[in-house]
Amino acid sequence: MGSTSEFSRRDLIKRAAAAGLLAMPAMGVLSACATGSDGDDKTPDAGKGGKPGGLRPLNVNGSTPLDVVIFDGGFGQQYAKDAEAEYKKAYPKADIKHTGTQDIAPQIQPRFNGGTPPDVIDNSGAKQMDLGTLVGLKQLTDLNALLDAPSLDDPKKKVRDTLRPGVVEMGKFDGEEVWVLYYAYTVYGVWYSRTNLAKLDAQYPETWDEMLKVCEKAKKKGIAGWTYAGQHPYYIPFSLYPFIAKIGGVEVMDRIDNLEPDAWKHPAVKAAFEAYYELYRKGYILQGTPGLDHIQSQTAWNQGKALFIPNGSWVENEAKRMTPPDFQMAVGAPSSLDRNDKLPFGTLWAAGGEPFIVPKNAKNPQGGMELLRIMLGRKSTQNFIKAVSSLTSLNGGTEGLTLPPGLASSQQALTKAGKNVVNPRLQDWYVTLQKEKIGKAALGEMMAGRLTPDEAIKKIQKFTDETRNDDSVKKYRHK
């Protein structure tokens, strides 16, 4: 084969390759975004002029379409579709566009940027948009209008007064505006199977010494004490943080949330870390746990390979298909380390989950808030509880329902905790610090035995200091 043309075939391939080399990574990662126009600072007139107690307290224009985006994760999206059907009943002329996705940020962020965000978003999951950033950029609607509207079931009561304690506060960032409505109510803790504990003649251990004994007993039978989502070690804090708060008092976790210097050097932190490290040292962690993701670890736990797993109340729904019918799922509060613990046994982490937001530049923010008002009604709440076995932020809704075991246990745990409900905010305020740095680079390493508690604490404090000094991260404080 001779080369007769000015451009030989191979030259062409070579050049095409070079051009492709230039174009490909760039096309993939750079070109996707371009700043659009997200409109002027228009303020939606939510609530203004709404007849209190009227049928349509939020001034909803019934013929405006409603654009809803739901995180299709542990809770699925059917509960939202059911609420949308209720909305449709109230506003028959409204067209409802429903999107269910796990890719919240990649799908929704460009819409914010282009000035055409949806009317209401369940901003949840691993790819959630950073709430602090959205608030800082004034992209959200203040939900006080919704909170001051009469509730669906009792027009004499405001929505605000029907919610569980702490839910409204969680939605605030700096000022009095409430930017986020957490719809689900999550109980975090040590999850276990009553059946599997009973097989060992054991009960949920109320002290750490008993915890170690139960684990030892299990080990003798070839069962691991603990497992956790090794690829997502930020599940460990679900039981570790309330443990720290229980040992040293709520202030310890507050100081940690406030990113204070030396906050992690508190003796309570060290005590809690050492207790957890002992689980590793004594071989009570399920073999291979550091390489498991959340589903794989839950499955191993469902199969009875491990007794305990730090998790949140969504696990009952998420693991539904893998859970044996006689599993008797239950949640335990962190065991007491010793008698000097500042807070009693029962101290628990419970907080709102599924952060719903209404974008400021939405076409129909009133409609978005109205949908949330409908969801916070008794009917939708009961539907949610029944469908996904999790509580909602509406205080109640469980009356007359037969709760599945995990949910019933959550309810009992909340009752037992009483006032001693703690709510560490690190995972809402500093997502990267919590998930990647503290979670993957420190706690996960410690539980895998690659860092000692002292090294882990030192590393976490360094991460905390870096975040505190990083002026590209917006800071928050407990009041």
- Measured from the CB atom, the residue of 308 and 384 that comes closer to another protein is 308
Q: What is the DSSP letter of 233?
A: G
Residue 126 interacting with another protein (CB under 8 A): yes
Q: How far is the CB of 137 from another protein (least distance, A)?
A: 5
Residue 33 interacting with another protein (CB under 8 A): yes
Residue 296 interacting with another protein (CB under 8 A): yes
| Rounded Cα–Cα distance for residues 246 and 412 (Å) | 19
Q: How many residues does the chain have?
A: 479
Q: Are strands 421-422 and 391-392 parallel, antiparallel or unpaired?
A: unpaired
Q: Which residues contact 30 (CB under 8 A, 6 or more apart)?
A: none
Residue 436 interacting with another protein (CB under 8 A): yes
Q: Which residues contact 390 (CB under 8 A, 6 or more apart)?
A: 75, 184, 185, 186, 313, 314, 316, 317, 353, 384, 407
Residue 12 interacting with another protein (CB under 8 A): no
| Rounded Cα–Cα distance for residues 472 and 14 (Å) | 42
- Measured from the CB atom, the residue of 251 and 436 that comes closer to another protein is 436
Residue 133: in which H helix or E strand, if any?
helix 131-136
The binder of another protein chosen from 289, 323, 364, 393 (CB under 8 A)? 289
Q: How far is the CB of 23 from another protein (least distance, A)?
A: 5
Q: How far is the CB of 44 from another protein (least distance, A)?
A: 16
Q: How many residues bind another protein (CB under 8 A)?
A: 67
DSSP string, 170-225: HTBSSSS-B--EEEEEEEEEEEEEHHHHHHTT----SBHHHHHHHHHHHHHTT-EE
The binder of another protein chosen from 36, 165, 267, 324 (CB under 8 A)? 36
Q: How far is the CB of 243 from another protein (least distance, A)?
A: 23
Tell me which stretch binds another protein (CB under 8 A): 192-200, 264-272, 403-411, 430-438.
Answer: 430-438
Q: How far is the CB of 39 from another protein (least distance, A)?
A: 9
| Rounded Cα–Cα distance for residues 307 and 315 (Å) | 15
- Measured from the CB atom, the residue of 81 and 363 that comes closer to another protein is 363
Residue 473 interacting with another protein (CB under 8 A): yes
Residue 358 interacting with another protein (CB under 8 A): no
Q: How far is the CB of 112 from another protein (least distance, A)?
A: 5
Q: How far is the CB of 127 from another protein (least distance, A)?
A: 7
Q: Which of 178, 71, 120, 170 is nearest to 374 (CA)?
A: 120
Beta bridge partners of residue 99, listed in sequence order = 69
Q: How far is the CB of 261 from another protein (least distance, A)?
A: 20
Contact 157, 193 (CB under 8 A): no
| Rounded Cα–Cα distance for residues 9 and 233 (Å) | 52
Q: How far is the CB of 282 from another protein (least distance, A)?
A: 18
Q: How far is the CB of 26 from another protein (least distance, A)?
A: 6
| Rounded Cα–Cα distance for residues 453 and 455 (Å) | 5
Q: What is the contact mask toward another protein in residues 58 to 97, using x (rule: CB under 8 A)?
A: ----------------------------------------
| Rounded Cα–Cα distance for residues 262 and 65 (Å) | 51
Residue 292 interacting with another protein (CB under 8 A): yes
The binder of another protein chosen from 6, 34, 399, 469 (CB under 8 A)? 34
Q: What 3 state SS string does 256-315 have? A: HHCCCCCHHHCHHHHHHHHHHHHHHHCCCECCCHHHCCHHHHHHHHHCCCEEEEEEECCH
Residue 4 interacting with another protein (CB under 8 A): no
- Measured from the CB atom, the residue of 216 and 293 that comes closer to another protein is 293
Contact 447, 374 (CB under 8 A): no
The binder of another protein chosen from 147, 163, 197, 300 (CB under 8 A)? 300
Tell me which stretch binds another protein (CB under 8 A): 158-166, 248-256, 411-419, 444-452.
Answer: 444-452
- Measured from the CB atom, the residue of 36 and 261 that comes closer to another protein is 36
Q: What is the contact mask toward another protein in residues 166 to 185, using x (rule: CB under 8 A)?
A: --------------------
Q: What is the DSSP letter of 129?
A: P
| Rounded Cα–Cα distance for residues 28 and 31 (Å) | 7
Residue 401 interacting with another protein (CB under 8 A): no
φ and ψ at residue 302, rounded to 5 degrees: -60, -30
Sign for the pseudo-dihedral over CA of 103, 106, 107, 112: positive
| Rounded Cα–Cα distance for residues 90 and 84 (Å) | 10
- Measured from the CB atom, the residue of 297 and 392 that comes closer to another protein is 297
Residues of this chain that bind another protein (CB under 8 A)? 1-3, 10, 13-14, 17-18, 20-31, 33-38, 105-106, 109, 112-113, 115, 126-127, 129-130, 133-134, 137-139, 230-232, 286-293, 296, 300, 305, 431-432, 435-436, 440-441, 444-445, 448, 450, 472-473
